[in-house]
Amino acid sequence: MLTPQEAVRLSRAGDQLGCAAALTALLRLAAAAHVTHAQLPAARCNLAAALLALGMAAEALAAAEAAEAELVARPLGWGLKSCARGLRYRQPNFLQSAVSASAVH
């Protein structure tokens, strides 16, 4: 099982699918064990970024919204809030328009 840091290294090396798979597995394990950790929202943000790089806009939006919901539920600091905000607002309506475009086709 990869650590979140190893998953990010995969992403930086260009292996977005490996990154997304590793982070999905880690997040599922955390959910099954009812584990919370300060870095879970960051993992969700990294998952969203990897999914978006793979062209999976709807899944990326869901991951970004899950990260945002977790941050709103228990604020952890500006760094992680910026991560979630950056995914959603760097290019306004980018994820929403990508999801809408994929639904049309």
Q: What confidence score (pLDDT) does residue 86 get?
A: 52
- At 25-60, the pLDDT tens digits run 999 988 888 877 778 888 999 999 999 999 999 999
Dist CA 7 CA 77 (whole Å): 22
Mean pLDDT is highest, among 47-51, 65-69, 87-91, for 47-51
Domain map (residue ranges) of the chain: 4-104
Mean pLDDT for the stretch of residues 17-22: 95
Binned at pLDDT 50, 70 and 90, residue 91 comes out as very low
Q: What is the 3-state secondary structure (H, E, C) of 63-88?
A: HHHHHHHHHHHCCCCHHHHHHHHHHH
Kindly list the distances between the CA atom of residue 104 and the CA atoms of 12, 94, 101, in Å, as whole numbers in the listed order. 32, 15, 5
pTM summary value: 0.70
